[in-house]
Amino acid sequence: MDGLDRQIINALQGGFPVCDRPYAVVADRLRTSEGELMRRIDDLLNNGVLSRFGPMFNVDRMGGGMTLGAMSVPEEDFEVVADFVNSFDEVAHNYAREHTLNMWFVVAAEEPARIREVLREIEKSTGLTVYEMPKQEEYFVGLKFSV
């Protein structure tokens, strides 16, 4: 990473403009071109420096629903089960944990009933129990990393 990459990461951690050409606005602030900014974001994602770049939506406020699912997956089946779980459009992200419940994933859907359908489909296809852990309370952390 060079200085511009660091500036890009710092600039993109909050307040991304909502307009016709948001990348052009950010590029102008950083004194680079829109194309260069977009290329560097792609490079940062492709190289694993950034894991994700995109908006965060509160699906509940938009009439949808979201929950956390957890499963105990045999280690030898982990990749196959992870690929299956990740095949659902409603699965936002999926990660391994060192715990009896070693696979955790977020399910978000436009219709809350779809969440239960996804969880049932995962259970039926894998033969594994999915533990649903719905949100009881929400906290805003506002975590930002200066690089």
Instruction: Tell me, yes or no, whether 117 and 69 share the same domain.
Output: yes
Helices (H) and strands (E) in the chain, counts: 5, 4
Residue 25: domain span: 3-46
**Helix (H), strand (E) at residue 119:** helix 112-126
Instruction: Tell me, yes or no, whether 128 and 88 share the same domain.
Output: yes
Write the CATH number for 64: 3.30.70.3460
Residue 117 has pLDDT above 90, yes or no: yes
Instruction: Tell me, yes or no, whether 82 and 40 share the same domain.
Output: no
10: its two tokens: 């710092």
Quote the mean pLDDT of the chain.
Answer: 93
pLDDT 10s digits, 40-80: 999 999 999 998 888 877 777 888 889 999 999 999 999 99
Return the beta strands (E) in 6-127 as ranges.
Answer: 65-71, 91-96, 103-109
Confidence band of 126 (pLDDT split at 50, 70, 90): very high
What crossing angle do the helices spanning 78-86 and 112-126 adopt, rounded to 10°?
Answer: 150
Instruction: Tell me, yes or no, whether 76 and 111 share the same domain.
Output: yes
79: its two tokens: 């990749």
Instruction: Tell me, yes or no, whether 31 and 66 share the same domain.
Output: no
Q: Model-level pTM?
A: 0.68
Contact predicate 44/50, CB 8 Å: yes
